[in-house]
Chains A and B, each alone.
Chain A
Amino acid sequence: MNSLILRTAVPALAGLMLLFSIYVLLRGHNEPGGGFIGGLIGASAFAIYTIAEGLASARRALIVPPITIAGVGLFLAAISGIVSLLFGDAFLTGQWWFPAFNPDLKYFSSVVLFDIGVYLVVVGAISGIAFALEERE
């Protein structure tokens, strides 16, 4: 779409949306939010960037193909379930690590890893769909 307003606004907007999506992802650990909704916001950032700047530059911005991102996400989610094998717990049991320098940090856990996996699956899948739709036009 050739709109000067959109093209001026989008780089800042898309960056802000990506940042916000990561905030929502991490917030989901204890409050409303999480990987799925964060991933949707992240994918919208790439979708709006595609509309403004075209498919080629969106692909460049994403560096790797979206399907690969989804694959990495699925892999991380599967691994986060298997981590508990090392500790003798059941599949998908949450494992936490509290760093000695700041035991209040609650982000080093297999649960967050799972959520990051979900985030990447959603970002990859939805932006893949958005790219495919843009391609047909």
Chain B
Amino acid sequence: MSDLTAWLVVWPVAIPLIGVALTVILWGRERAQTNIGVIAISLQLVSSIVLLQHVWENGPLAMAMGGWSAPFGIAFAADVFGAGLTVAASLVALLVLIYSLADTNADHRRAGFIPLILALMAGVAGAFLTADIFNLYVWFEVTLISSFGLMVLGGRREQLDGAVKYAFLNLLATTFLLIAIALLYGMTGTLSMADLTGKVAALPADSPIEIIALLFLLSLGMKAALFPLHFWLPAAYHTPLPAVSAIFAALLTKVGVYSLIRVFMLVFPDGADIAREAMIWVAVATMIVGALGALAESDIRRVVSFTVVSGVGVMVGGIAIGTEAALLGTTFYMIHSIIISAALFMATGMIVRAGGGTRIADLAGLYKGAPFLAVAFLLCGLSLAGVPPFAGFWPKVYLVQAGLEAGAYGIVAGILISGFLTLMLVGRIFALVFWRAAPEGAPAVASDGGAVMKGTLGALTILTFVIGVYSAPVVNASGRAAAELFAPDAYIGVVLGRSAQADAGGVEGPGARP
């Protein structure tokens, strides 16, 4: 049945939503909830892989919800960019979920850990797959609400402190986003991103497009933790459970970067020059401030939070360069960053567990008790800094090359300097936490994490190594994603139901109605 194909774009969102419903019905029965959670995320991974394969072979795929065709109804659409990120997100979420089984206790799980993670994943996949800009806002809210719950899980005082900052800044950002969307809607009368492309281009020359683009940059930049609005991230991400920090760092900022790319490639492909100019300097500042902040911090979980900020700068730097080669680099970096942010927060959780504290000054000599953790942390850290042969090396190569070609020397300098600072940082942490001899009479390493934690961290470490050594598939996929972003005709065609593919994809008019 031809209509079944279009359903591929729904399953990565619908499966975790059904998982939320089932786990909420089974509230308090942790074992059943955990099983459902693992199954739901696994199915999400499988369905997104099938979706990516379909999109790879047949081009973008769209489905109009309820048969109400875009631009009037809400459509879901997948291209290689969105589907690829959904695959990366659900793969990392599955590993983080397995890691969390060893990291959370019964109290956390009774307080709704699994339903919240599933709701978060539904929101992330929804944001990656929707083709409607207001619907994008709604999925932002879904991730936001579930992340509030996850952030305070455990109920310690500093968690509430972090959650208040996080909640306030993010609610402010979503309000700005809503204002930007409302202004855009007021001017064009449409919310479908595919429809906006033509409508925005056809606006009279004196329309306040620049202001709206800046509002989008402000609100989505706040979500993505761009300088100078990055401060909420290091103020909040070190407080929740390590597994929660890992999934936040891996996915939430990436949703912001993803939306920036969608908005600036699809809605404002031309014009918006002030916002693009601002993006260059904001990106450079974010890279440098993130790396310097990480060097200056004394709390190891805050150090890792600052490296996430620095990575966001690199990704947005690619958007600011704005060539196809640069977007290839940004897409590759997003996939790399999803893996490496999760791995580093998982490793940090194990370091805190092993060393019994979060202050770097108090941590020493962990190599002796946790050699596996030491090696995994070092390899992930090198990947983060962009040292070959790890996955972090390639996107930076592509971005630097694209920057030199486009004459964006500020961004090239930013990437190189922040990479150098990150390398210093990794060396510093490794030397202090793992190499430095523990003081006399210090207690032995409490725990090296156990098989589950080591296994999931090891899997991510191997993944970043394998992608580094055998980078062709990810490079090809990123290149294809970038090419589709620059020539969005096929995407726009399926969303608006213009091409032949759309007829097979179920975007034709509403079904039989009374």
Question: B-contacting residues of A (Cβ < 8 Å)?
Answer: 65, 67-68, 70-72, 74-75, 77-78, 81-82, 84-85, 87-94, 96, 98, 106
Contacts and interface: CB of A to CB of B under 8 A. Distances in A.
Contacts of A77: 21
A94 B23 CA distance: 26
Given A75-B18, A88-B1, A89-B511, 10 more contacts: A65-B27, A67-B27, A68-B24, A71-B21, A71-B26, A71-B27, A74-B20, A89-B67, A89-B506, A91-B7
B17 interface: yes
A28 to B, nearest CB: 17
A71 B10 CA distance: 20
Contacts of A71: 20-27
Interface centre among B18, B21, B26, B511, by most chain A C-beta atoms within 10 angstroms, is B21
B14 A81 contact: yes
B326 interface: no
16 contacts: A68-B27, A71-B25, A71-B26, A74-B17, A78-B18, A85-B7, A88-B1, A88-B3, A88-B4, A90-B6, A90-B63, A90-B64, A90-B67, A90-B511, A94-B66, A106-B514
A76 to B, nearest CB: 8
Interface centre among A65, A68, A81, A92, by most chain B C-beta atoms within 10 angstroms, is A92
Interface of B: 1, 3-4, 6-7, 10, 14, 17-18, 20-27, 63-67, 76, 506-507, 510-511, 513-514
A90 B21 contact: no
Contacts of B510: 93
A96 B513 CA distance: 8
B66 A93 contact: yes
A92 B65 contact: yes
A90 B27 contact: no
Contacts of A85: 4, 7
A136 to B, nearest CB: 14
A82 B14 contact: yes
Contact of B25 (A75, A87, A106): A75
A58 to B, nearest CB: 18
Given A75-B18, A90-B506, A67 B24 contact: yes
Contacts of A90: 3, 6, 63-67, 506-507, 511
A90 to B, nearest CB: 5
A27 to B, nearest CB: 18
A66 B493 CA distance: 45
Interface centre among B1, B18, B20, B76, by most chain A C-beta atoms within 10 angstroms, is B18
Nearest to B25: A71
Nearest to B514: A96
Nearest to A98: B514
A100 B18 CA distance: 33
A26 to B, nearest CB: 17
Nearest to A85: B7
A67 to B, nearest CB: 5
A96 B1 CA distance: 21
A92 B65 CA distance: 6
